[in-house]
Amino acid sequence: MTIENIIVQQPSKPAQQLILLFHGVGDNPVSMGEIGKFFAHAFPEALVVSIGSPDVCDFGRGFQWFSVQGVNEKNRQSRIDQAMPLFINCVRQWQQDSSVSAQNTVLIGFSQGTIMALESTKVEKLAGKIIAFSGRFAILPEKPIAAGTAVHLIHGEQDPVINPYQSKIAAERLEALGNVCTLDLQPNLAHGINAEAISVALEHLHQ
């Protein structure tokens, strides 16, 4: 069982940018589609799509890229690695269909969607920019990630699901490796996306 992707914005002319949004575990593309409307308004020449994860969630509702049932620091990476080829193929297919290059692609993830987007940078370059809401690397990269990909980490300091420390250490590692990275911590935000976080994301994309 899969859920259809949601095209938030289809420009009348050939797209100049491709913005793909990836939801968290147990969710569906509808919620991230609402977030996508802010990015569509800011980038009217972009094709904006909210992507549905491929598998039904173990929780009995929503969808997932990989199971989080019994997930821990030892098995998380292998689960992501198993799901990664399908994730990469999904992005590449949208790039092919829209004739938009990787450099002009933006991946916007939340929680598990962010995990998949960040982990993809260890494999190949899928995007010029990644907006990483409330996520983490499974294991911090040991070598520079995909050249030319700027990572913008945005995390609530009150997040009880994924510790904001994960974004802090990711930023430190990426900077040490010479990759372009920013870190924005939202003091009053838990595990979610609010207006301030969206505003920060838009600022980074406009730069």
Q: Name 140's Cβ contacts closer than 8 Å, sequence gap at least 6.
A: 169, 170, 173
Would you say the C-alpha torsion 110, 112, 118, 121 has a positive or negative sign? Answer: negative
What would the DSSP string read from start to end of 147-185?
TT-EEEEEEETT-SSS-THHHHHHHHHHHHTT--EEEEE
Give the active site residue among 111, 120, 134, 167: 111
Alpha-carbon separation of residue 112 from 47, 102, 119, 137 (angstroms)? 22, 21, 10, 10
Phi and psi, residue 8, nearest 5°: -80, -40
Give the active site residue among 31, 67, 191, 204: 191
Q: Is 191 a catalytic residue?
A: yes
Q: Is 50 a catalytic residue?
A: no
Q: Which residues are catalytic?
A: 111, 159, 191
